[in-house]
Structures are given as structure tokens and as C-alpha cells.
Amino acid sequence: MSLYSFGTDPISCHAWNKDRSQIAISPNNELVQIYQKADNEWRKIHELSEHNGRVTGIDWAANSNRIVTCAADRNAYVWTLKDGVWKPTLVLLRINRAATCVKWSPQENKIAVGSGSQTISICYFEKENDWWLSKHIKKSIKSTILGLAWHPNNVLLAAGSSDFHCRIFSAYVKEIEDKPSPNLWGAKMPFGELLYERAESGGWVHSVCFSPSGQYLAWVDHNSSVSIADSTQDKIVTQTRTEFLPFLTVLFVNEAQLVAAGHNCSPFLFSYSGPGVLELSGKFDAQKQSSKSSLSAMQHFRNLDKKAAQESDASEVDSLHQNSISHLLAVDGEPSDVTTVSSTGMDGALVIWNTKL
């Protein structure tokens, strides 16, 4: 595992280029910074500054090498590298609240953007007018979209939201693609069709993810649980509640295992072997050496009050991340066998983990 620091500002989101030699991050503001790795160090080579609100989502298309960003300014931009300069193209989202998350489709011909306007914008490029248009999915959505995930078939889209629901919609756009074939999640798939819905009593659904085959859908919500819906078993849901703090992000690393991370500052590996069997397999962790420089404010004042008493380092977080993990991404390996994953969080750090415990 490797630890890199990009300063003290929280990292709200990150994205990798195809060969993992460059990374795009947002330091919790309106900027997107692109770094290139050289001699085990990250050097900033570009800064994207078109947004005028906090950037909430970044996704880097591997094959077309285009970056899409969205922000609290209610805008999304597709960035194209021309002559060494990243040039933005505005995406017409037509939303009246902040954009919250963004994902390229697997074939990189569509973009899904979640927002606070109870809407998912499915965006596609119209060659005739040379611009990005959007169509809206609104059915049943009652609150802010917090997480999105594309099915491998490039048509289905999963969404988690703060109305305590996890849903799967059809994002079939007839203007640019052929009619989809029936699958285990549904047969008729006109645009915006609600194919699956699950209400969670535990709170906000923070993140969603399809397995590599698309047969399973996993999500994490605010009651510290991990859930999987199995389309091969009549969409039976298997849920495991944990003793940890809530998870904020989830990622399949193969067809039977997934990684979840959040407020506990460390990723956890879970294994699924069929309906009713979802188990915690282990924790990705590296004990961080205790340091007296990272005391909490309360502990600091307690020590001042004790005058000559020695400072206690009991408040030190015993993991590489020193604050909540907000985002997980695959780094190395195929979708069916991811060997390393990256995590970024509120401590401004990037950690690359080996998934083989």
C-alpha cells in the first residue's frame, strides 16, 4: 500500500486516466487539479477552473481520454485535451439545484449526472448542433441523488438517494443506440423506466455499485450496513449490519467481493456467496505510528490544564487515513479481478491498497 498527501484540504472526489499515470482531484473547492506521477511523487501539471461552485464529481473516460466534471454551480463540463490544454464544453443539464455526482457510461457515449433537484440528467452528444443535450429521469425520486453506477450493458443505471431509496432505471437513449435486449433486471426498458426499487429504513443511500457481470447491485446506507440485491435470485436482498461508523462508498473488486469505506477511515472487504450470506472478510489497514502532533483540540487543552503532565496520543486514528474516506476507485486489474484500489478522503490523502488480504 502507498500513502500520498495532496495537502490539508479535503479531497471531495478523484479520477484516474487509463494508464494510471495521472490523477484528477478536487480539493473541496471549484478547481480540478491534474497531477502526474514521477519518481514516486505527484507533480501538478494542469488546473481546470471553469466551475464557480464546489466540484462534486469527476470521471475520466479511459478510451476517449475525456474528463467530465460537475459542481454545485449546477453545471457539468466535458474536458478535451487539445494541444496540451484542457478545453471545456458545457453540458446542458437543465437543473435548478447543485449537481452531486457524475459518471461516464461504459461505452463513453453517455453521461449520468445526479443532482439536488430530484433529477438524474442523462446526457449525450448531438453531432448536428455540436453540443451535449440531456434527458431527465424523475420517476419516484423524492430527494437528492448521492450516488450513481452504470450497468455493464450501458443501459441500466443505479442510483442511491437521500430519500432512503436505491433504484435502477433504464437510461436507454434511442437517438444514439440500438434497442436493448431483455435482462435479469427487466424486459421493457423505455427511457426512465423504473426497474427496481428498494426502500432503506437506515437512512441515506450514499453509494451504489454493480458487480462486474451486472448480476448484483450493492449499496451502503447511513445505518452502517452493506446490502446486495441478487438479480439471479428474484432480486432477493442480503444485508449485513456492522458495528462500524457509516460507509460512504462501495466498490466491487470481483464478482464475489466488494470494498466499503467511510467514516471509520479504513476500507473493509466483504464477501458474498449467495442469498443470506454476506460476510466481513477483513480490514485494509496499516497501523500509523503514533504522533503527538495530531492531538485533538480537546486533548490539547486537557494537557495544558495538567501543566506538567505528559500528553496522551490516545486520540490518534490508527489507520493511514486520518479522516473519513469519501471515494473509492479501482486502480489495477480487470473489473472481474481488481488487485489494487485507491481511496481519497477528508484528510487530503490518497492511499492505494492491495485488495488481496
Interval 278-300: pLDDT, tens: 999 999 985 544 333 334 455 55
Q: What is the pLDDT of residues 257-267, one digit of tens each?
A: 999 999 999 99
Contact 278, 347 (CB under 8 A): no
Of 152, 187, 186, the C-alpha closest to 167 is 186
Comparing 100 with 1, which gets the higher pLDDT? 100
Report d(CA 150, CA 66) in Å as an integer: 17
Instruction: Provide mean pLDDT across the span 336-355.
Output: 95
pLDDT of residue 299: 55
| Amino acid at the residue 161 | S
Q: How many CB atoms lie within 10 A of CB 182?
A: 9
Which runs of consecutive H residues, i.e. helices, occur in the chain? 297-305
Q: How many helices (H) and strands (E) does the chain have?
A: 1, 28
Kindly indicate the confidence band of residue 316, based on its pLDDT and cuts at 50, 70 and 90: low
Report d(CA 302, CA 83) in Å as an integer: 57
Contact 252, 209 (CB under 8 A): yes
- CATH 2.130.10.10 for domain 2-354: yes
- Please provide the average confidence, as pLDDT, over all residues in the chain: 91
Contact 32, 44 (CB under 8 A): no
Contact 148, 103 (CB under 8 A): yes
Sheet of 131-137: strands edge to edge? 55-60, 67-71, 76-82, 85-91, 131-137, 120-126, 110-115, 99-104
Q: How many CB atoms lie within 10 A of CB 239?
A: 17
CA Rg, the chain, in Å?
21
Of 352, 351, 341, 349, the C-alpha closest to 11 is 349
